A = this chain, B = another copy of it.
Amino acid sequence: MGVTKTELFTAEQSRIAELAKAFAHPARVAILQHLAKTQSCICGDLVDVLPLSQATVSQHLKELSRIGIIKGNVQPPRVCYCINEAVWEEAKATFGALLALFEQNTCC
């Protein structure tokens, strides 16, 4: 994306944006849905599930790790990825609160 002036916004707004980025790409949505549903660690078979190359999947996993919403357990040559419960709860609370800010318009 171009230059985002994060320093001009509150830490809360920046964190919301970061968490939202975890869901802002179909591939990452697919990864998170898969990890959430299978209730168990998934290793490289994410590559089989997704229509993307191993390199690209690895990149998305890295981004999700950076955000913190998933964590990886290395047990070479495999890596076991799963949802980070704490951050998932953070996302739940964050989006819950944000979306609760609005009920209905008194104007338009």
**Which A residues are closer than 8 A to B by beta carbons?**
1, 4-6, 8-10, 13-14, 16-17, 20-30, 32-33, 35-37, 39-41, 51-52, 71, 73, 80, 82-83, 85, 88, 91-92, 95-96, 98-99, 101-102, 104-108
Compute how far the CA of A14 lies from the CA of B29 in the bound complex, rounded to whole angstroms. 8
Copies of this subunit: 2
A51–B95 contact, CB under 8 A? Answer: no
A40-B107, A105-B82 given; A98·B33 CB < 8 A = yes
A107–B41 contact, CB under 8 A? Answer: yes
B24–A17 contact, CB under 8 A? Answer: yes
B29–A25 contact, CB under 8 A? Answer: no
